[in-house]
Chains A and B, each alone.
Chain A
Amino acid sequence: MLHQFWKPKQFPQLFYSLLLLSIAACTNNAGNSGVVVETGRLPDSIAEGKKMFEATCVRCHGMDGSGLTGPSLKRPKLKHVTDLASFTNVVTMGIAGTGMPGNWAYSNEDCRQLYAYINTIKKQEKEPLKGDPAAGRLVYQNSGCANCHLMYGEGNSIGPELTEIGAIRNTAYLHQAIVDPDATFPESTDPDNGYGFSLYLSVKVATSDGQTITGLRINEDTYTIQLKDTANNYYSFNKDELVSIEKQYGHSVMPSYKTKLSAQEIDNLIAFLHKAGNP
């Protein structure tokens, strides 16, 4: 019913989260690994927390808390949360410099209930890894990933840096990013960009002197746009001096590795990436 308003091409990320949501639901129905406990069996506070989680948190942390654009919460230690007080602070004030927004609508009691539910997620098993991280390192080295990605200080800075990618993306997201990069655009968390600004958006502009330039959007406001092309050249344009601006929503400059790598190589690569930030 809701989909009549949503065009996946314009909302790859939201569509993806909905997709994952339905996948997670299927997984639960199959009784696989007990990812999400049935609401009816939960103590009241946890059940309430689960409702809040599903209304607010799943878009970034995933339906089962194993992460989407936000980090997986299925880990014994959370970086910014040590107790209820720090959790309440994170939920109500957000985490500066990250994608975690403050949600002032949550009362202390709401936070307590949400924390109770998060604690049940934290205790759940981590995702099982099918691949071998050491073999994955070789896949990373041999597939040209460093031509676009910076990792451990080496590589190019066209795509996102991957040094801590395993701490902020789950394996399902990493898999999707490798086989179907068009579906995994991250959003900016910089408030000066306005709300929900898509990062790494490919933009093609035609200049009045007949040039066509395609690059990733670095920034945009009402009057200007800044791009960086795949050769790392930086461009800044006044929009009114451009003949056209074509935003290629749903099109990533990263190629799909679905047919370039075997299933085993992809699993190995995911295992290698998952380790980054998850020592």
Chain B
Amino acid sequence: MRVILTLIIIMGISTGIAAQVSYQRIANADAEPGNWLTYSGNYAATRYSALNQVNTSNVKRLAPVWIYQLKSAGAPFECTPLVADKIMYISEPPSTVTALDIATGRKIWTYTPEMPKDVKFMGFGPVNRGVALLDNNVYIGTLNAHLVCLDAKSGAIKWNVTVADNKLGYAITCAPVAIDGKIIIGISGGEAGIRGFLDAYNAKTGKLEWRLYTIPGKGEPGNETWQGDSWKTGGAPTWVPGSYDKELNLLYWGIGNPGPDWNGDNRKGDNLYSCSVLAINPTTGKMAWYFQFTPHDTHDWDANQIPVLLDIKIKGIPRKVLATANRNGFYYVLDRKTGEFLAGAAYAKQTWARGLDAKGRPIVIPGKEPTEKGNLVYPSLQGATNWFSPSYSKSAGLFYVSVREMGSLYFKKEVEYKPGEYFMGGGEQLLPGDNASGAVKALDAATGETKWTFRLQSPPWSGVLSTAGGLVFGGSVEGNFFALDAVTGKSKWQFQTGGQIISNPMSFSVNGQQRVAITAGNSLIVFGLIAQ
């Protein structure tokens, strides 16, 4: 009898460990802050942790608890780990998935897809930014543009589908987004003359449910914004995850640059929907509205920043908004039901626009296009910010963003499309480092007004995490992992990790103890409070 009872208890525990990460759980992720069930922690993409054990008064006691080291070093480690039911799921570059014990960092299983030796990754490193969880599965997009479904308990493959032809420059670095029964995946390849799209796959079977091209085809509205056949090779990739409003049933996704990047001579027009955000009905795959940040971009200012969904007051009126700090140097607030422009302001040095007009369209200063001899413009191609995530703290009412203050010389040259080759039409030369700097900035979420600035030695490649402990975590390329006071921007703690930080912080808890995790160099470092 006792044996049977023990067995029942053991089975109960093991069932508990392998609990399903249902859509409902992800949709209500804020109710279980000890886990981190999706890329940004929640569908609204606030990258905010409700855990408050680590706070402004004790953060000085934060120290590494365990470190996981990449088995194959050399590529940037850009993953945001997910945590569900005592297991952490990470992606290692280029496309390996590993499950770790959250208490010790010890490996439970690992899966490495077969990858052709000549896999193409054009315009970026052989990186991956994370996995998605849904029910008992883990999903990963691979560098050679496959989407793979793994069993969360064992890492065994359930299905593997080809999303696009890697030989043409299509690749996946994006973390998938799991919603009810569907896996949404974005594509990279904006420097290879692809035609961008966003795909939804049946989570159980891997069947393609819809594809939304980010460049309208012949006869579709918006196609007239492309000269001649330029729409066929116009780029507009979807390489950063989107956010989701379950009440409105709208998915929000940032769209990348038009191609060729720096030479717009043969693609005259606004080039929709490059450098835009799209609102998409995930049931049908149809676009509900779009907003273009940078019409006819020639500076590679992708809008591949994750849109943050906020319920805030704009001019005293409660609104459901989408907020984003764009790579072009401006912060935007849009009505997320309609796409109406509500507010906007520059949050970094920019020299290409006088400002935004009443509809949010940039008032472009003439003569800022790339030239054969090079034209100096702020921000640089790498943008005032980039793919790394911002964060929003409801309690502080502030939108936090990592900012790159750097200009560059933009060059233009002729280019002809050849399948699977670079299609960029120019280049850039960054200004020397001592004139460039970085910052974490806190913006008034409703207006974009800068409330505080924490200066960084160099332009960063790390996103930020805000917490109920009143902290904002971020990282530097020199390896500092730091915590700032969310209200004042004053530094409260830092740790030299010894490696560049090119990723996003996240937080979870194990046995009631809060943890904060970041990748740095070739390591994933998990921090917790140590005894005084």
Contact = CB atoms under 8 A, between A and B. Distances in A.
Given A104-B123, A196-B431, A51 B477 contact: no
Contacts of B179: none
B434 A198 contact: yes
Contacts of B407: 5
B455 interface: yes
A86 to B, nearest CB: 18
A223 interface: yes
B430 interface: yes
A192 B477 contact: yes
A207 B77 CA distance: 38
B459 interface: yes
Contacts of B418: 107, 109
Contacts of B376: 2, 5
Interface residues on B, range: 35 or more
A52 interface: yes
B457 A194 contact: yes
B527 interface: no
A143 B122 CA distance: 51
A194 B429 contact: no
B374 interface: yes
Given A55-B427, A195-B458, A222 B372 contact: no
B413 A52 contact: yes
B191 A105 contact: yes
Contacts of A234: none
Interface stretch (A8-16, A76-84, A160-168, A258-266): A8-16
Interface string A79-94: 0000000000000000
A59 B432 CA distance: 11
Contacts of A56: 411, 427, 429
Contact of B479 (A52, A195, A221): A221
B422 A105 contact: yes
A197 B491 CA distance: 24
B192 to A, nearest CB: 10
B56 interface: no
A222 B459 CA distance: 11
A222 B456 CA distance: 5
Contacts of A11: 431-432, 434-435
Contacts of A201: 434
Interface string B419-431: 0011010110111
Bin the interface of chain A by size: 35 or more
B435 A10 contact: yes
Nearest to B456: A222
A222 B482 CA distance: 10
Interface in B475-491: 476-480, 482, 491
A31 interface: no
Interface stretch (B181-189, B393-401, B494-502): B494-502
Say whether chain A's binding surface is mostly helix, strand, loop, or mixed. mixed
Contacts of A240: 491
Interface in A206-235: 220-224
B479 A14 contact: no
Interface in B439-460: 455-459
Given A52-B413, A198-B433, A221-B496, A193 B478 contact: yes
B499 to A, nearest CB: 7
B287 interface: no
Contacts of B457: 194, 220-222
Interface string A42-54: 0000000001100
Interface string B105-133: 00000000000000000110000000000
A192 B500 contact: yes
Could you say which of A105, A107, A201 has the most chain B C-beta atoms within 10 Å of its C-beta? A105
A55 B371 CA distance: 10
A194 B413 contact: no
Contacts of A107: 418, 421-422
A187 B433 contact: yes
A109 B421 contact: yes
B55 to A, nearest CB: 21
A158 B36 CA distance: 50
A110 interface: yes
Interface string A9-28: 01101100000000000000
Contacts of A193: 433, 458, 478
B436 interface: yes
A28 to B, nearest CB: 16
A194 B433 contact: yes
Interface in A172-211: 187, 191-198, 201
Interface in A70-126: 103-110
A140 interface: no
A220 B477 CA distance: 11
24 contacts: A2-B374, A2-B409, A5-B407, A11-B432, A11-B434, A11-B435, A55-B372, A55-B411, A104-B122, A105-B123, A107-B421, A109-B418, A187-B433, A192-B500, A193-B433, A195-B430, A195-B458, A197-B433, A197-B434, A221-B496, A223-B491, A223-B494, A223-B496, A240-B491
Interface of A: 2, 5, 10-11, 13-14, 51-52, 55-56, 59, 103-110, 187, 191-198, 201, 220-224, 240, 247, 249
**Lowest 10 A-B CB distances belong to which pairs?**
A196-B433, A194-B458, A221-B478, A196-B432, A107-B422, A195-B433, A55-B411, A107-B421, A222-B457, A194-B477
